[in-house]
Amino acid sequence: MSRQLGIFGTSGMARECRDIANELGLEAVFIARAGEDLTQLSLDATVISESELHRYTDLSCVIGVGEPALRRTLARRHASRRFANLIHPAASFGRGQRERIEHQQGVIVCAGARLSCDIAVGDFTLFNLNATVSHDCLIGDFATLSPQACVLGNVAVGEGVWVGAGAVIHQGTPQAKLSLGAFCVIGAGAVVLSDCQAEGVYAGVPARKLS
Ligand SMILES: CC(C)(COP(=O)(O)OP(=O)(O)OC[C@H]1O[C@@H](n2cnc3c(N)ncnc32)[C@H](O)[C@@H]1OP(=O)(O)O)[C@@H](O)C(=O)NCCC(=O)NCCS
């Protein structure tokens, strides 16, 4: 039997994680919410309930959930578990960058994503399809970059920030990184030119605060 990887979640992101796992020769084991009706799920892989997970002591896991706050909740609930990094073979990295990620836990990097160089990547970060991050950025724990999100150089992405699909975050400077405050949300297609406040919701070109 091939090695197994536990994947929290049963929705689209979890299935995309299954596909990455399979590309890497790993067998996916989905971990559904306690109480979820497992008979309704057709995931073409083993599915267990979160309430049974204690029986799988050696199963290393990833959290296949796009929403940063939920990823954090699950990571905290299962803090004693070993979390793997899941990196699609078609992701690409600048010098030393992949090795930096390997020191973290729970990082997911999808096909086509590119992280250039000198980027500090937190735990449980998610780089979705074709997301790009340029030099000298900081990507906080639990941040999610949606498909095609583009973070230019010298940007500090706070903990739990959710950058929507196709959003562009303009570059900062080495002296003053452009800052996205913790758990702010950047709408799909936004172009962010200046700092965003923690927990704010921003959208548009140029991005303006919605709430
Ligand atoms: C920005 C966002 C978070 C706002 O969601 P929301 O708080 O539920 O806001 P609403 O849908 O009620 O929209 C509020 C207003 O913002 C506008 N708006 C919403 N999203 C927008 C966007 N991405 N760009 C420009 N305007 C947007 C709406 O048209 C609406 O305008 P109105 O008040 O003039 O009618 C959401 O629309 C979004 O873009 N999420 C990211 C989606 C994504 O990339 N998912 C990735 C999945 S992998």
CATH number of the domain residue 56 falls in: 3.40.50.20
With H, G, I as helix, E, B as strand and everything else as coil, classify residue 38. helix
Domain end (from 37, 59, 77): 77
Same domain assignment for residues 57 and 149 = no
With H, G, I as helix, E, B as strand and everything else as coil, classify residue 17. helix
Domain end (from 59, 77, 95): 77
The residue nearest atom 28 of ligand 1, judged by CA position, is: 203
Instruction: Place 44 in a pLDDT band, splitting at 50, 70 and 90.
Output: confident
Same domain assignment for residues 173 and 151 = yes
Average pLDDT (15-30) is 96
Binding pocket residue ranges, ligand 1, CB within 6 Å: 66, 128, 146-147, 164-165, 185, 187-190, 201, 203-204, 210
**Is residue 141 within 8 Å of residue 124, measured between CB atoms?**
yes
CATH number of the domain residue 148 falls in: 2.160.10.10
What is the predicted pLDDT for the residue at 202? 99
CA of 30 to the centre of ligand 1 (A): 30
The pTM for the full model equals 0.97
The secondary structure of residue 184, as a DSSP letter, is -
Same domain assignment for residues 72 and 134 = no
Phi, psi angles (nearest 5°) of residue 203: -160, 165
Same domain assignment for residues 47 and 71 = yes
Same domain assignment for residues 29 and 121 = no
Same domain assignment for residues 118 and 173 = yes
d(CA 36, CA 48): 10
CA of 145 to the centre of ligand 1 (A): 16
CA of 110 to the centre of ligand 1 (A): 24
Same domain assignment for residues 121 and 29 = no
Same domain assignment for residues 94 and 158 = yes
CA of 185 to the centre of ligand 1 (A): 10
- Looking at per-residue pLDDT, the higher value among 3 and 2 belongs to 3
One DSSP character per residue, 112-158 reads: T-EE-SS-EE-TT-EE-TT-EE-TT-EE-TT-EE-TT-EE-SSEEEP
Q: Which tens digits make up the pLDDT trace of 170-187?
A: 999 999 999 999 999 999
What is the predicted pLDDT for the residue at 41? 78
CA of 209 to the centre of ligand 1 (A): 11
The residue nearest atom 32 of ligand 1, judged by CA position, is: 210
The residue nearest atom 25 of ligand 1, judged by CA position, is: 204
Q: Whole-number mean pLDDT of the chain?
A: 96
What is the predicted pLDDT for the residue at 26? 97
Same domain assignment for residues 14 and 63 = yes
Instruction: Kindly give, in sequence order, each residue whose CB lies less than 8 Å from that of residue 55, ignoring residues fewer than 6 positions away.
Output: none
Q: Is the pLDDT of residue 1 over 60?
A: no
What is the predicted pLDDT for the residue at 110? 98
| Distances in whole angstroms, Cα of residue 67 to Cα of each of 13, 21, 64, 70, 144 | 10, 20, 9, 6, 7
Domains identified in the chain, total number: 2
Strands 92-93, 120-121: pairing kind: unpaired
Same domain assignment for residues 96 and 119 = yes
Q: Which tens digits make up the pLDDT trace of 140-180?
A: 999 999 999 999 999 999 999 999 999 999 999 999 999 99
Same domain assignment for residues 104 and 122 = yes
With H, G, I as helix, E, B as strand and everything else as coil, classify residue 87. strand
Domain end (from 77, 104, 128): 77
What is the predicted pLDDT for the residue at 40? 79
Atom of ligand 1 nearest to the CA of 185: 3
Same domain assignment for residues 155 and 111 = yes
Per the structure, the complete domain to which residue 53 belongs is given by 4-77
What is the predicted pLDDT for the residue at 2? 65
Instruction: Kindly give, in sequence order, each residue whose CB lies less than 8 Å from that of residue 69, ignoring residues fewer than 6 positions away.
Output: 142, 160, 183
Least reliable range by pLDDT among 23-37, 84-98, 142-156, 170-184:
23-37
Atom of ligand 1 nearest to the CA of 162: 41
| Distances in whole angstroms, Cα of residue 6 to Cα of each of 57, 79, 86 | 11, 14, 11
CA of 203 to the centre of ligand 1 (A): 7
